[in-house]
């Protein structure tokens, strides 16, 4: 009897998924049909969650990493009792629905899909997000105790995920870190988009994952519920190593004509095939979006969820009484805020008048460290260079035996990006960050884009941000990267010009800047400007508005020179020259286009009044500057290997060039 209702439930999931896709006349039925039994076992028997409280901090996390199979997660969320209705299933892939083509963690409160943890679809991203979530759980469990944080991370991953580089990077990291609370179900169905995987994928996945340090289970047939459940149970019981449950399935099963072929992967089966498949399952082909009452009751997890949640709530309430010293930390961490006192930690005393902004960043992190106890992150084997570590040495390493705050991601930029996104999506980790040379932002762009799409509170800390890094040459010198990062919607790019702007950038970011930030920091030393009332330069608090008058012209301004980052120094020198030549010149520091764009027109006009010619200088391509200024001094070629000053000079990033451009405009 118990197995009858299980089979009926699985048939219902399959029918529902076919209807969802057929009704939209668009979508991917193959994976949902093949993997329906796996989803059933996970959601009905294994995972601990409360459909009524999708934000419960200690819920098990589930990621449909193979996001093209979205119909499956929507069907499961509906059946298990999340606030996702039959009408939502009928609105699959339609404008404004909470059931978009691929699962989305939509920041718009009206478009939240309850139970969807992260946006997936670009294959491999979800895999890496789950690794970040498991890291977050390790860290928080260690810090706050297993009474309040002790959950697992599950995912359904597909062939594509294991083919992608990001999946491999994340798997290798997870194995190294012994993230034993990961259980991924691998849909091993031999089919991908172009046809059979034999076209391009034949390694022994079991051996490969074992070599990474994973525990691997094998299930011969996804439809053997007993074997499936036992394998998943063994994987869950394995706490020393992450687990991959390799599950043989047939894509599109049991569609009589399309199962086992790539035709079932990414297009509706067609009315006739949907009917035929329902008949194979012994269902009435005339019924669509049909859930038998017994199935609806059997699959609804609301009562079970409430019990689990209530148990946790009891533990949490006791914990609060027993560990009062941790309560404020817990509350602020989950609210995404630093501890009180954070603001007063910045800026630190620089103790010098010339310092690279990457080093200033390091001093900031040291200064605010104790106010951000759940902020974790690291670099892709460049923390020595990017200077993005919290103080603390060994005791702060995130290692297999001890989850500290400083993560060594290894040379795995894309995996790092996905993991950092996962930490942010998990919650409880304050502004997780990932760092590398700016040029290698390309290696992780897929993850950066998703951080912006999800508006996740992460920080991407890119150093060595221009040809000004010098000798390493054009392979390492970003030229088009500032433009490429600015091109990503909802990503706030900040390029501070000195130590004080760096502190301000960290201050607003940790304090709750909406969405992801990307910092561009210099390798080379830059002057620390004398700022504030009665000093030559305006306060770095101007950074909050994206661009500000950093030094007013001596007299009515006849020209404006604009710099970002290291080129503010060039802009100041150019303005000095122009002033000396009788052209009163305003200097504008323009660290962030996005922050400036968010200001009202009146403020923007006050920085760039009508009729005053303006020239920007930035050591990167000029693309986009035409929006803000009349002319740009830029670098329209790859850089070169030589000492920084010479590269800047040879490529024309000089006060002379800026002054000449201004004169052309003024005359």
Task: Mark 35-60 as b/e (b = at least 16 C-beta within 10 Å).
Answer: bbbbbbbbbbebbbbbbbebebbbbb
- Applying CB under 6 A, among 41, 123, 423, 570 the residue interacting with ligand TPP is 123
H or E stretch including 614? Answer: strand 614-617
Q: Which stretch binds ligand TPP (CB under 6 A): 158-166, 312-320, 390-398, 601-609?
A: 158-166
Q: Which residues within the stretch 404-443 sit at the binding site for ligand TPP (CB under 6 A)?
A: none
Considering the rule CB under 6 A, would residue 30 count as an interface residue with ligand TPP?
Answer: yes
The DSSP string of 227-253 is HHHHHHHHHHH--SS-EEEEEE--TTT
Q: Which stretch binds ligand TPP (CB under 6 A): 187-195, 449-457, 500-508, 582-590?
A: 187-195
Considering the rule CB under 6 A, would residue 258 count as an interface residue with ligand TPP?
Answer: no
Chain residue at closest Cβ approach to ligand TPP: 160
In terms of CB distance, is 127 or 529 closer to ligand TPP? 127
H or E stretch including 188? Answer: strand 182-188
Q: Cβ(389)–Cβ(399) under 8 Å?
A: no
Considering the rule CB under 6 A, would residue 159 count as an interface residue with ligand TPP?
Answer: yes
- Residues 535 and 540: their CA atoms lie apart, in Å, by 12
**Secondary structure class of 349 (helix, strand, coil):** coil
- Residues 138 and 134: their CA atoms lie apart, in Å, by 6
- Rounded to the nearest whole angstrom, what is the least distance from the CB of residue 269 to ligand TPP in the complex? 14
Q: Which stretch binds ligand TPP (CB under 6 A): 121-129, 224-232, 404-412, 432-440?
A: 121-129
- Rounded to the nearest whole angstrom, what is the least distance from the CB of residue 188 to ligand TPP in the complex? 9
The answer to whether 164 is a known catalytic residue is no
In which region does residue 567 sit, left (phi positive, over 0), alpha (psi from -120 to 50) or beta (all else)?
alpha
Q: Which of 246, 153, 247, 248 is nearest to 208 (CA)?
A: 246
Q: Which residues within the stretch 314-353 sit at the binding site for ligand TPP (CB under 6 A)?
A: none
H or E stretch including 620? Answer: none
- Rounded to the nearest whole angstrom, what is the least distance from the CB of residue 111 to ligand TPP in the complex? 21
Biggest alpha carbon distance in the chain?
Answer: 94
- Residues 664 and 667: their CA atoms lie apart, in Å, by 5
Q: What is the CA radius of gyration of the chain?
A: 27
- Applying CB under 6 A, among 37, 100, 101, 121 the residue interacting with ligand TPP is 121
Q: Which one-letter DSSP state was computed for residue 339?
A: P
In terms of CB distance, is 189 or 277 closer to ligand TPP? 189
Q: Cβ(470)–Cβ(642) under 8 Å?
A: yes
Q: Which of 138, 164, 217, 413 is catalytic?
A: 413
- Residues 301 and 310: their CA atoms lie apart, in Å, by 14
- Residues 70 and 102: their CA atoms lie apart, in Å, by 5
In terms of CB distance, is 251 or 444 closer to ligand TPP? 251
In terms of CB distance, is 42 or 191 closer to ligand TPP? 191
- Rounded to the nearest whole angstrom, what is the least distance from the CB of residue 524 to ligand TPP in the complex? 36
Q: Which of 385, 408, 512 is nearest to 461 (CA)?
A: 385
- Applying CB under 6 A, among 55, 146, 193, 606 the residue interacting with ligand TPP is 193
**Secondary structure class of 524 (helix, strand, coil):** coil
- Residues 502 and 588: their CA atoms lie apart, in Å, by 16
Considering the rule CB under 6 A, would residue 265 count as an interface residue with ligand TPP?
Answer: yes
In terms of CB distance, is 123 or 467 closer to ligand TPP? 123
In terms of CB distance, is 101 or 427 closer to ligand TPP? 101
- Residues 547 and 538: their CA atoms lie apart, in Å, by 12
- Rounded to the nearest whole angstrom, what is the least distance from the CB of residue 159 to ligand TPP in the complex? 3
In terms of CB distance, is 193 or 335 closer to ligand TPP? 193
Would you tell me how many other CB atoms lie within 10 Å of the CB of residue 110?
A: 7
- Applying CB under 6 A, among 41, 134, 251, 662 the residue interacting with ligand TPP is 251
- Rounded to the nearest whole angstrom, what is the least distance from the CB of residue 171 to ligand TPP in the complex? 15
In terms of CB distance, is 113 or 189 closer to ligand TPP? 189
Q: Could you tell me the two tokens for 412? A: 């795995």
In terms of CB distance, is 35 or 420 closer to ligand TPP? 35
In terms of CB distance, is 100 or 121 closer to ligand TPP? 121
Q: Which residues within the stretch 566-605 sit at the binding site for ligand TPP (CB under 6 A)?
A: none
Q: Cβ(648)–Cβ(602) under 8 Å?
A: no
- Residues 665 and 440: their CA atoms lie apart, in Å, by 37
Q: H helices of 392-486, where?
A: 413-426, 445-453, 481-486
Question: Pairing state of beta strands 402-403 and 398-399?
Answer: antiparallel
In terms of CB distance, is 63 or 578 closer to ligand TPP? 63
- Residues 528 and 281: their CA atoms lie apart, in Å, by 73
Residues constituting the chain = 667
Q: Which residues within the stretch 52-81 sit at the binding site for ligand TPP (CB under 6 A)?
A: 66, 68
In terms of CB distance, is 29 or 347 closer to ligand TPP? 29
Q: Could you tell me the two tokens for 103? A: 């699962």
Q: Cβ(460)–Cβ(448) under 8 Å?
A: yes
- Rounded to the nearest whole angstrom, what is the least distance from the CB of residue 72 to ligand TPP in the complex? 10
- Applying CB under 6 A, among 12, 44, 189, 463 the residue interacting with ligand TPP is 189
- Rounded to the nearest whole angstrom, what is the least distance from the CB of residue 123 to ligand TPP in the complex? 4
- Rounded to the nearest whole angstrom, what is the least distance from the CB of residue 27 to ligand TPP in the complex? 11
- Applying CB under 6 A, among 149, 192, 362, 466 the residue interacting with ligand TPP is 192
Considering the rule CB under 6 A, would residue 564 count as an interface residue with ligand TPP?
Answer: no
355 phi, psi to nearest 5 deg: -155, 140
- Rounded to the nearest whole angstrom, what is the least distance from the CB of residue 31 to ligand TPP in the complex? 4
Number of residues that bind ligand TPP (CB under 6 A): 18
- Rounded to the nearest whole angstrom, what is the least distance from the CB of residue 245 to ligand TPP in the complex? 16
Site string for ligand TPP, 531-560 (x = CB under 6 A): ------------------------------
- Rounded to the nearest whole angstrom, what is the least distance from the CB of residue 321 to ligand TPP in the complex? 48
H or E stretch including 403? Answer: strand 402-403
Residues lying near ligand TPP in the complex (CB under 6 A)? 30-31, 66, 68, 121-123, 158-160, 164, 187, 189, 191-193, 251, 265
Provide the annotated active-site residues: 413
């Amino acid at each position: 009897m118990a197995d009858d209702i299980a089979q009926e439930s699985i048939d219902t999931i399959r029918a529902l998924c076919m209807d969802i896709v057929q009704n939209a006349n668009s979508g991917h039925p193959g994976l949902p049909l093949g993997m329906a039994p796996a989803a059933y076992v996970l959601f009905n028997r294994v995972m601990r969650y409360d459909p009524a409280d999708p934000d419960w901090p200690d819920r098990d996390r589930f990621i449909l990493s193979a996001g093209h199979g979205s119909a499956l997660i929507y069907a499961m969320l509906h059946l298990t009792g999340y606030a996702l209705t039959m009408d939502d299933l009928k609105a699959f892939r339609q404008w404004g629905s909470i059931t978009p083509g691929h699962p989305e963690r939509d920041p718009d409160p009206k478009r939240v899909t309850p139970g969807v943890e992260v946006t997936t679809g670009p294959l491999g991203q979800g895999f890496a997000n789950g690794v970040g979530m498991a890291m977050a759980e390790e860290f928080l469990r260690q810090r706050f105790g297993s009474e309040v944080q002790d959950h697992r991370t599950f995912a359904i991953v597909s062939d594509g995920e294991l083919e992608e580089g990001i999946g491999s990077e994340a798997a290798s990291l997870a194995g190294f870190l012994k993230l034993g609370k990961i259980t991924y179900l691998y849909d091993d169905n031999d089919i991908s988009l172009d046809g059979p995987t034999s076209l391009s994928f034949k390694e022994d996945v079991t051996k490969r994952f074992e070599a990474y340090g994973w525990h691997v289970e094998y299930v011969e047939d996804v439809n053997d519920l007993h074997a499936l459940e036992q394998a998943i149970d063994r994987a869950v019981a394995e706490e020393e190593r992450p687990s991959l449950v390799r599950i043989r399935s047939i894509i599109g099963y049991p569609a009589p004509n399309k199962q086992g072929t790539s035709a079932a992967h990414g297009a509706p089966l067609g009315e006739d095939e949907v009917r035929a498949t329902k008949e194979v399952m012994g269902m009435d082909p005339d019924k669509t979006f049909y859930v038998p009452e017994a199935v609806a009751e059997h699959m609804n997890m609301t009562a079970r969820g409430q019990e689990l949640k209530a148990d946790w709530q009891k533990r949490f309430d006791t914990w609060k009484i027993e560990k009062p010293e941790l309560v404020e930390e817990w509350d602020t961490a989950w609210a995404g805020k630093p501890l009180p006192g954070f603001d007063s930690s910045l800026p630190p005393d620089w103790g010098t008048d010339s310092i690279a902004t990457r080093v200033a960043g390091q001093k900031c992190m040291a200064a605010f460290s104790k106010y951000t106890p759940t902020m974790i992150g690291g670099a892709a084997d460049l923390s020595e260079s990017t200077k993005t570590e919290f103080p603390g040495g060994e005791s702060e390493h995130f290692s297999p035996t001890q989850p500290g705050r400083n993560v060594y991601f290894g040379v795995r930029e894309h995996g790092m990006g996905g993991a950092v996104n996962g930490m942010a999506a998990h919650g409880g980790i304050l502004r997780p960050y990932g760092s590398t040379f700016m040029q290698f932002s390309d290696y992780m762009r897929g993850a950066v884009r998703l951080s912006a799409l999800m508006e996740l509170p992460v920080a991407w800390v890119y150093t060595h941000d221009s040809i000004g890094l010098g000798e390493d040459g054009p392979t390492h010198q970003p030229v088009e990267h500032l433009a490429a990062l600015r091109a990503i919607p909802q990503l706030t790019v900040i390029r501070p010009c000195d130590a004080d702007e760096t502190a301000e950038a960290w201050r607003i970011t940790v304090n709750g800047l909406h969405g992801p930030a990307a910092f561009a920091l210099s390798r080379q030393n830059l002057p620390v400007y004398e700022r504030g009332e009665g000093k030559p330069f305006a306060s770095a608090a101007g950074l909050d508005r994206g661009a500000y008058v950093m030094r007013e012209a001596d007299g009515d301004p006849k020209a404006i020179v604009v710099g970002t980052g290291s080129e503010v120094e060039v802009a100041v020198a150019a303005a000095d020259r122009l002033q000396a030549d009788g052209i009163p010149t305003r200097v504008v520091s323009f660290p962030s286009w996005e922050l400036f764009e968010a200001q009202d027109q009146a403020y923007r006009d006050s920085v760039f009044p009508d009729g005053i010619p303006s020239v920007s200088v930035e050591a990167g391509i000029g693309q986009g500057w035409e929006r803000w200024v009349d002319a740009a001094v830029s670098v329209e070629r790859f850089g070169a290997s030589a000492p920084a000053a010479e590269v800047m000079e040879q490529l024309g990033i000089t006060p002379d060039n800026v002054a000449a451009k201004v004169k052309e405009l003024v005359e």
